[in-house]
Amino acid sequence: MKGCNSCRLEKGVCGSNCSCNPTQEGVPQYRDEGLLSALLANIELIKDARKGWSAVAAQPIAQGKFLCQYAGELISTAEAKRRLAVYDNLKAPCTGHALLVVREWLPSGDACLRINIDATRVGNVARFFNHSCGGGNLELVLVRCSGSPIPHVSMFARRPISAGEELTFQYGQPSGPSDAVQQIGEGMSIEKVERRACYCGAEECLGYLPVDSV
């Protein structure tokens, strides 16, 4: 199926929000949600042959420094499931979706708030942060501003980061009790989900990207 020239998704997925510009093929296109211009002074985008676009620190970043929020379309779980099914069926090079699913668990571990943020077409620089099986150098913190029931997914440096280091975090990490792992969705077995090779290079690398939870 012929995909959109810019966001690389199939035409049906590439909707009215898409900022595709066929004349700039190869340049990642997305709608800047405000923080990007300030961040670009400190973060560079480079293209890796196997991982696609990667964000790299242009100068040292102190431990604990706030980098950005994970911006994107806040969508329902039903819509997230629909999109993930489409994304999972895309063949290379149409592989780089950026739909983040975060769960905020109650302390009891009995229930959670599921937050689905799709930065595939609309987002900020966070959509270029790749996965590391070793935990990466960024951590996601759920920050709730007064009056808002939905927390912001905020990204901080979890250790000092050197200039030239790629900015990564661990995809698929639960936010809550350690046994509250993400589940493969009902009716799906791990064999039915195409595993994508991971090239994070961490010692702990499992060889595959975490499977998106549906």
Ligand X SMILES: C[S@@+](CC[C@H](N)C(=O)[O-])C[C@H]1O[C@@H](n2cnc3c(N)ncnc32)[C@H](O)[C@@H]1O
Which residues contribute to the site for ligand X (CB under 6 A)? 50-54, 95-98, 127-128, 130-131, 198-200, 209
Residue pair 142/70 in contact by the 8 Å Cβ criterion = no
Instruction: Output 61 or 198, the one with its CB closest to ligand X.
Output: 198
Query: What are φ and ψ of residue 104, in 5° steps?
Result: -105, 110
Instruction: Output 111 or 190, the one with its CB closest to ligand X.
Output: 190
How many whole angstroms separate alpha carbon 8 and alpha carbon 28?
9
Closest approach, Cβ 106 to ligand X, in A, equals 28
Closest approach, Cβ 212 to ligand X, in A, equals 9
Instruction: Output 2 or 50, the one with its CB closest to ligand X.
Output: 50
Closest approach, Cβ 162 to ligand X, in A, equals 19
How many whole angstroms separate alpha carbon 45 and alpha carbon 128?
8
Closest residue to ligand X, Cβ-based?
52
Residue type, 64: G
Closest approach, Cβ 130 to ligand X, in A, equals 3
Q: Which of 89, 118, 121 is nearest to 20 (CA)?
A: 121
Give residue 104's Cα distance to chain centre: 17
Instruction: Output 42 or 95, the one with its CB closest to ligand X.
Output: 95
